[in-house]
Amino acid sequence: MSGDPVTDAGRFAVLISGRGSNMLSLVNAAQAGRIPALPAVVISNVAAAPGLAAASDLGVPTAVVDHRASANREEHDGKVLQVLTEHGADLVCLAGYTRLLSPDFIGAYPGRILNIHPSLLPAFPGLHAQRQAMEHGVKISGCTVHFVDEQLDHGPIVAQAAVPVQDDDDEDLLAARILEAEHRLYPEALRRYYLGHLVVSGRRVRIQEPDDE
Ligand code: GRF
């Protein structure tokens, strides 16, 4: 620690593959001072991801690491780790990143990778979570911010928000309603992370404010 509030600030990276609306919610919150950390870099495995231009417009460095240029997952993840190191990232936020992470990647950021998923985990992990929720007929779905471990959509749960499923919903309507909740939940989880309020014990994550016992 240098004692300089700017150089000492946390630096989070966001990994995206597409639209990047959750990434924008994190960057906007940080730039507005609601998260005590700086957006270090936005990395996409897809060069055409619309979120890349949106991040650049906000002055955030961006990088493309195209997975098709690597022979395997480990090689690709090694390149992503290199970019993260170059930008001094201390936390990795997955936000619509469609690649599974290798054990080596997870080991390089132990307890320092977050993801947002559009369901109330452990219900409906994997792709098309909103469609899964509709097809199952649940009345309440939502979104989950969780730490990433080696199983898909599985690590310790940091925060969840419930969202009602309406009788006349289709998948798109439900996804849009959940997305609004995502844009509130993820920045708040990051704020808590950087304030040092998250206490992880096994699968349980408690929010402990400084005055708590
Ligand atoms: C979000 O629904 C997120 O929960 C899921 O992928 C979607 C990404 O949307 N993991 P966006 O790219 O953040 O707009």
- Closest Cα to residue 23, out of 97, 77, 86? 97
State the pLDDT confidence band at 9, using cuts at 50, 70 and 90.
Answer: confident
CATH classification code of 10-117+145-160+186-203: 3.40.50.170
- Closest Cα to residue 26, out of 54, 63, 64, 66? 54
Answering whether pTM is above 0.85, one says yes
C-beta separation of 20 from 96 below 8 A? yes
The answer to whether the CB of 117 is under 6 A from ligand 1 is: yes
DSSP 101: P
- Residue of 16, 22, 158 to mutate, ligand 1, most atoms within 8 A of C-beta: 22
Instruction: Report the separation in Å between the CA atom of 22 and the middle of ligand 1, taken as the mean of its atom positions.
Output: 6
The answer to whether the CB of 116 is under 6 A from ligand 1 is: yes
What is the pLDDT, as a whole number, of residue 209? 87
Tokens 């098309």 appear where?
128
The answer to whether the CB of 39 is under 6 A from ligand 1 is: no
Instruction: Report the separation in Å between the CA atom of 178 and the middle of ligand 1, taken as the mean of its atom positions.
Output: 10
Using one digit for the tens of pLDDT, what is the confidence trace for 61-84?
999 999 999 999 999 999 999 999
What is the pLDDT, as a whole number, of residue 211? 76
C-beta separation of 30 from 58 below 8 A? no
The answer to whether the CB of 10 is under 6 A from ligand 1 is: no
What is the pLDDT, as a whole number, of residue 7? 57
Q: Whose CA is nearest to atom 12 of ligand 1?
A: 20
Using one digit for the tens of pLDDT, what is the confidence trace for 137-157?
999 999 999 999 999 999 999
| pLDDT(6) > 90 | no
3-state secondary structure of 92: strand
Instruction: Report the separation in Å between the CA atom of 140 and the middle of ligand 1, taken as the mean of its atom positions.
Output: 19
